[in-house]
Structure 1
Amino acid sequence: MSDALAVLSPVKLGPYKLPNRLAMAPLTRCRASSDGIPNALMVEYYRQRASAGLIISEATPVSPQGKGYPYTPGIYNDAQIQGWQAITSAVHEKGGRIFLQLWHVGRISHPSLQPDGALPVAPSALKPAGQASTEQGPQDFVTPRALELAEIPGIVEQFRHGADCALKAGFDGVEIHGANGYLLDQFLRDGTNRRTDAYGGSIANRARLLFEVIEAVSSVWGSDKVGVRLSPLQPFNDISDSDPRATFSYVVEQLNRFNLAYLHITEMGKEAPGAAGSAFDLEELRTLYHGIYMLNAGYTAETATAAIAEGRADLIAFGKLFIANPDLPERFAKNAPLNEPDFDTFYQGGAHGYTDYPFLAD
């Protein structure tokens, strides 16, 4: 497909040369065991999608405290490491590259998902609107417990330990989940961070935890194999900021000092108004960041190629299209029809809607 040539061209990402610029976005699918161990079904799912330039794994809790959804895989014990090893081996056997997304959900959890039924933790004790997903079905969110100042180094250590486990599991790198209303995003945004200590108040203070996590994770991997995901305008999980332009301009500019593998920006919510009622143009962030830049949110072959050709991105992450089309790069190359995703099976267990989407060869 001539219009898709730019998105199918190779690109250098840290120490790796990727065969194309299609990343598989991190996609929660809830197919692991109840204790967070990846299984054979997940091995097949990731193997099928190894033709992506880069696979970013589903969001993966770095500790039992970081869990917010049932049947999500973890990355904090030996059994989980062994489960992931089978997945990374399968991807590598097919010539693919895979990063693991490191995740702590913060307040977007429920006592039924927490060790000993504890309260979820957050920067501040503010209850989110909505309901948590639990093994017993949807349940109202609870008011979380604000982290004590002395506990914050332990949060950083959870991410460092998760990064170390990912290294042992054979991943090619990691992505730090700083988006979508989860813990690091909760610290970044003043709608959820009302702290008055060194981790609250000013933008620099609110960004402190993210930067400490990046340093800790980079101490394991080297920063050129670490990505960061942000969602400046995403309102998901009852998250907000009074001035996202100021907050995220500061954060993105500061990220340059880490020499990361990439910055991953999800553009969901980009039509939302800024603090003063004027739209925040996310393209401003591209001018502030000097490294590899990845975008995500409803792209097609045509719009992805345009973004790359115009210099607005170096890679594009595809979510729903990779769910339904395990051979997405080949379909783009041949201008072939695309399978339609089955939304009803996104978070259900089993192979249906997970590993049974047909390939072109079928």
Structure 2
Amino acid sequence: MKHTAFRQMAGALGLLLMSSLAWGASCSGDPPLRTFHTLPAVITQQRDAPLGTVLYDTNGWVGAGQFVNVTCRGPGTLWMTDGFRGGMVKTDYEHVYESGVPGIGIKVSWANNARNPPSSMSGGRYMVDPPRELQISATTYVPAQMWWIQLIKIGPIQSGTFKINPVRVFYHNMLTNELNFTPSQVVFNQQGCRVQNKALTVPMPTAGVQRFQGIGSTTGERLFDIPLECDPNIRISYRLDGLTSGESVLKNSTGAGMAKGVGVQILKGSGGGTPLVLGANAYHMDMGAVGGLSKIPLVARYYQLEPSVMPGSVITTATLTLFYE
């Protein structure tokens, strides 16, 4: 009798397990859609591009816009899971992960509506690591194969090889969408200018105080150039910053032996040029397809700031910043 009871219990347990497998939550449907995306082999960017600059952008959704038919059934809780498949390193920038290339991060967004796709990357779901879970209902879905991809500057850039794990979307147990990145090498080309003399000193001429005729009068012009070596196909602007007294006049240093009532005015071009507005961008030139050497021509001259000028030394400094388009 005991032997028979044991066999009956085992049979009941077997039926219970089979019932759970037959009626648990699950999704089924079409085979998954896969996109293999090749990132650019050459990236060209301005030499001084700030961190966070977008280096590459698909400028829209890629992946053909196809969709998968998925039917999810219960009972039980159903989940959608999406994101990178492990091993990605988060950066300090939101939704940006290391790409394997020094200084370059990757950002990916997924859109699941092929008929009405979002107009921007932020309208989709940014892919993260570890993958994220979202509870879903037991119904039919048509997730689209649509991806928006950007490469972001996250540090000093060097040439290297992209090593990016796949992005996958699961509707519960079913893989529906996958984005793969082909391992590929990228060559990084910098664009910009190199200042050939990074600590330029401009010797001003000696000027007698009797040459100053009142506030706003000037004397003692000195022409000087800032020499540059520039890459092709860039448009160059520049800005001079310093302690100012008026739009174009640098203040003199203070202390024993320093002249009073006078500053140094900066002008564009050769003698007779227009005053340079300090702290504002000024256009220099377009380098064209060749690039090469270039000079920013400037003029420095004494400028009377007060009713009387006291003799002494004149020492002032300015910082040059270059901008590229």
TM-score scaled to structure 1, two decimals? Answer: 0.17
- Larger helix proportion, structure 1 or 2? 1
TM-score scaled to structure 2, two decimals? Answer: 0.18
